[in-house]
Amino acid sequence: MTTGSSDTAADPESPKEPSDPFLARAQKMLGSNSEKVTEVAFWMLQKQTELELVETQLRYYKENNNVLMKKAKQAHELELRNKIQNEESYFKYILSYPTQRCLLQHLFDRVAFNVNLSDEEISRLFDASNVPREGWGLLDYETLPMERIYRMLQSQDLRREMWRRLGLNEDMELPDFTTTGHLHGNLPGDEFFWTPGNFVYLDKNASEVEKRFFREVCNKFDRYLDVFDIDRVPLGELILESKARACSQAAQDSAAVTSKAEPE
């Protein structure tokens, strides 16, 4: 009895499929006996590597494009905010003196109204503080200088009494206004009139005494204290000057175009 060989037995002479996919593709293209199989397989590997590199770069650019655009947008917004803050600081600087002066004369007017020398406590404090009585008796506002009210408030006892009667904190100090124009003129003959508004502007680098004084007086008279950056003021002025020149040039260009368009 003879035993036949299995039909599925592998042929020991049949070629094996290459494990490298590029080599297998090259053999199919050129034949297994071609001398160029390895060279072509290597070339295919290079091209595949280049393709994968390009795809990786494209994915990177796509993923980072939104990030780059977002950063560019943020930088642009920051630049705009800086310009706006510079311009605002310039305008607030221009408005700082008139708004402070109006608030101060309002306060001093209320102080003068409360100076009644027939009041025993006020009379006693005047005598104790060696404050001259001249000009206070009849409260002749046309001859009552702002500076005189300021000098009277240099007396700590009188100042505390005035603040108490006005509903202000008695320990609130009075800033030094002797080197500014805040004390110019008399009440009410030389009152500084300004468009009514609820804001008073102050340099953020002002002393703590000034900040507290204007903040508390603003609260008393229903005003709002707003600060500005004095370092931004020159930058804001430059921006506004640049805008003014641009507007002037645009107006000149428009006039020139209109002139050329008119018939002779």
d(CA 147, CA 143): 11
Please list, in sequence order, all residues whose beta carbon lies within 8 angstroms of the beta carbon of residue 197, skipping any fewer than 6 positions away. Answer: 99
Backbone phi, psi, residue 108, to 5°: -65, -35
d(CA 199, CA 218): 8
* pLDDT cut 90: percent of the chain above it: 27
Backbone phi, psi, residue 20, to 5°: -80, 125
Integer angstrom CA distances of residue 62 from 52, 59, 68, 73: 15, 5, 10, 17
- The string of pLDDT tens digits covering residues 97-148 is 989 998 998 999 899 888 888 888 988 998 888 888 777 765 555 567 888 8
> Residues of 114-141 as b/e, b for ≥16 C-beta within 10 angstroms?
ebeeeeeebeebbeeeebeeeebeeeee
Q: Is 159 exposed, middle or buried (0-12, 13-18, 19+ CB in 10 A)?
A: buried
d(CA 189, CA 228): 31
Nearest alpha carbon to residue 116 among 107, 106, 125? 125
The token duo for 199 is 């804001």
Q: Under DSSP, is residue 119 helix (H, G, I), strand (E, B) or coil?
A: coil
The average pLDDT across 29-49 equals 67
Backbone phi, psi, residue 254, to 5°: -65, -40
Identity (one letter) of the amino acid at 214? F
d(CA 188, CA 141): 6
Least confident interval from 33-47, 154-168, 173-187, 215-229: 33-47
Report the length, in residues, of the chain: 264
Where are any strands of DSSP class E within 106-188? 144-145, 186-187
Q: Identify whether the C-beta of residue 200 lies closer than 8 Å to the C-beta of residue 226.
A: yes
Q: Where are the domains of the chain?
A: 89-236
Residue 5: pLDDT band (50, 70, 90) is very low
Q: Is residue 176 scored above 70 in pLDDT?
A: yes
The token duo for 27 is 């053999």
Identity (one letter) of the amino acid at 3? T
pTM as predicted: 0.65
> Residues of 18-28 as b/e, b for ≥16 C-beta within 10 angstroms?
beeebbeebbe
